[in-house]
Chains A and B, each alone.
Chain A
Amino acid sequence: MSALLSAKGLKIAFGGVKAADGIDLDIAEREFVAIIGPNGAGKTTFINMTTGYLRPQAGSITFDGTDITGLPPRQIVRRGIARSFQIPQLFTEHTVIENVALKVAAHRGFWHAFRPLLDRETTAATMAILDQFGLRSVAEARATELNEGTRKLTDIAMAMALEPRLLLMDEPTSGVASAEKFGIMDTLVAALRARGVTAVFVEHDMEVVERYADRVAVWSQGKILASGPPAVVLNDPAVLREVIGVEVKHAAGATPGSGDAHA
């Protein structure tokens, strides 16, 4: 099985705190991998390194056979890696359709000064994505008027508009009302599967991990403690002690609307 993404010996530390201390992680094509672990373990740092936002101090990241270590975000995106954010990063001056259309245009041809952003072609492509994410009804709403779940979906739809091969998601269900989380995940996973996208998601909610991940990687103190199918890993006593024990996080623990609960 050849890996789509392959991290080898990744190291990065912030003032003595080792966020990655020799991380080896392979992600296969079309795999859904959840990364779990206590706060501050380095899960988001992994996304930041893979997307070029942070440069690892040692080690390498290979995507589809090419070394992408330390490339700037813009070049990495063009190779087919997109990301979404724990706190949705929407263009707050725009509507939902414009938010996604900007990304569609970014992927298909952005440098037009005298052709409307929402021309027929871009509008059609954008509406197709909005449909897939169940966002058609809020297409004309301003990004600032949405509830947290819709903001999350819009944020992920924006990443998907770049037609990535690999999507990295930072806590897709954090801040979402617990009644909504499975609905959002069902929509999301169906859209990703339909497009054959490989996905890595950082997640705190074990119910979500169990239900949607093909594989779980447990991140702890800059190392991968365990990796395997959810049914095995989530019953491993070492993992329970290290992750679940430290951080019992029931669905009810997530407060709706508080997207900035933790970094």
Chain B
Amino acid sequence: MMGRSLTLPTLLGVALLIGLAASAPWLKFVFTIALAKGLAVLGILLLLRAGQVSFGHALYVAVGAYTVAFARPTVGDVLLLLPLAVGAATIVGLLVGLFVARYRDIFFGMLNLAFSMVFYSLLEKLYAYTRGTDGIRVIPPTIAGLAFERVSYEWVMLGLSLALAVGLGFLARIFLASPLGQALPAIKARETRLEFAGISAKRVLLVSYVASAALAGLGGGIIAMTTLHVTPLLAYWTHSGELVFIAILGGGGAVLGPFLGAAVFELVRVYAAAAFPDAWQMILGAVLLGIILFASRGLWGIYEDLTTRRAARP
């Protein structure tokens, strides 16, 4: 079930992204954030394949981001900070996952929400460690031992995020075609039949849950090193909602969906916020409503329909 080739749209997307970032310098920041969120949404997509929606994955974004913020004074390089962020999110994901992977549907969603809000409160209240709502400033780290001035730093972070997005998107695609990946829709359709095949559905879901936490942690690490400032808001439930929003906007049909969704989301947000400072959330709401009503397979679904129709015509 590999589906169509993604090589061409990936290359086009990468070229478009770099082209736009070169023509408008401030877009480097926007796109880096979009790719970071896309990575987190890629994790959400794994869970969506099993029919499970997490309303708490901002937890792992925040764990990744705060790991970078806490480690930065002693660890100076991106290539060390990112694995640390992923490692911390993976461990937290495993601990929480052992508990939440037993639950389904609304219980799964709400338990994730609860864990993320507990973490949010801790970040806010433990002022001595986290500086509460003031947050922690992150000094720009070196990248592979090299210190960059601002513009080059932004370019390298964008390039790194892009490489990670392409690499991990590719890996996710392979994973989704594997027995473990294919078992996710089987959980959605008929979990008991998996049990009657000798397979623990809980364990299948746990694997994807931990992977999704790791991806969100990676995204959080990139966000911390791009915004250079972390606050408890990263863990707030609206951010978890945002990840689900992007997943629906982009569409779950292919691993490019999360990145397409994240890029469009960030662009709409930036432009809408600039043009209609008081109403930009309404515009985002209208966009989501339009997607749900008219294109339930998301932006990726629209792309597929457009290209398929053209290919099918003799």
List, in ascending order, chain A residues with CB within 8 A of B179's CB.
102, 105-106, 109-112, 115, 117
List, in ascending order, chain B residues with CB within 8 A of A117's CB.
1, 177-179, 181-182
Contact indicator B180/A111 (Cβ below 8 Å): yes
Verify if B199 is at the interface (C-beta below 8 Å from A): yes
Distance of B287 from chain A, by nearest CB (Å): 27
Interface string of A24-40 (1 = CB under 8 A from B): 00000000000000000
Contact indicator A74/B180 (Cβ below 8 Å): no
Verify if A174 is at the interface (C-beta below 8 Å from B): no
Contact indicator B180/A93 (Cβ below 8 Å): no
Interface residues of A in 91-124 (CB under 8 A from B): 91-95, 98, 102-103, 105-107, 109-118
Contact indicator B197/A112 (Cβ below 8 Å): no
List, in ascending order, chain A residues with CB within 8 A of B175's CB.
113-114
A83: nearest chain-B partner, CB-CB: B196
A and B contact pairs by CB, cutoff 8 A, 29 listed: A72-B195, A74-B199, A74-B200, A75-B198, A77-B198, A78-B198, A82-B196, A83-B196, A89-B192, A90-B189, A91-B185, A93-B185, A93-B186, A95-B1, A102-B183, A103-B197, A105-B179, A106-B194, A106-B199, A107-B197, A107-B198, A110-B199, A111-B179, A111-B180, A113-B181, A114-B175, A114-B178, A116-B2, A117-B179
Which chain A residues have a beta carbon within 8 Å of chain B's beta carbons? 51, 72-75, 77-78, 82-83, 89-95, 98, 102-103, 105-107, 109-118, 158, 162
Verify if B15 is at the interface (C-beta below 8 Å from A): no
Q: How large is the interface on B (under 10, 10 to 19, 20 to 34, 35 or more residues)?
A: 20 to 34
Verify if B188 is at the interface (C-beta below 8 Å from A): yes
List, in ascending order, chain A residues with CB within 8 A of B190's CB.
89-92
Sample of 10 more A-B contacts, CB < 8 Å, known A94-B185, A114-B174? A51-B196, A74-B195, A74-B199, A77-B196, A78-B198, A93-B186, A102-B182, A112-B179, A113-B178, A116-B178
Contact indicator B177/A116 (Cβ below 8 Å): yes
CA–CA, A64 and B313, complex, Å: 60
B51: nearest chain-A partner, CB-CB: A93
Contact indicator A110/B196 (Cβ below 8 Å): no
Contact indicator A102/B198 (Cβ below 8 Å): no
CA–CA, A110 and B189, complex, Å: 18
CA–CA, A70 and B177, complex, Å: 35
Distance of A101 from chain B, by nearest CB (Å): 8
Contact indicator A77/B189 (Cβ below 8 Å): no
Distance of B84 from chain A, by nearest CB (Å): 23
Verify if B125 is at the interface (C-beta below 8 Å from A): no
Closest 9 CB pairs of A and B: A106-B197, A93-B185, A77-B198, A105-B179, A92-B189, A91-B186, A117-B182, A89-B193, A91-B189
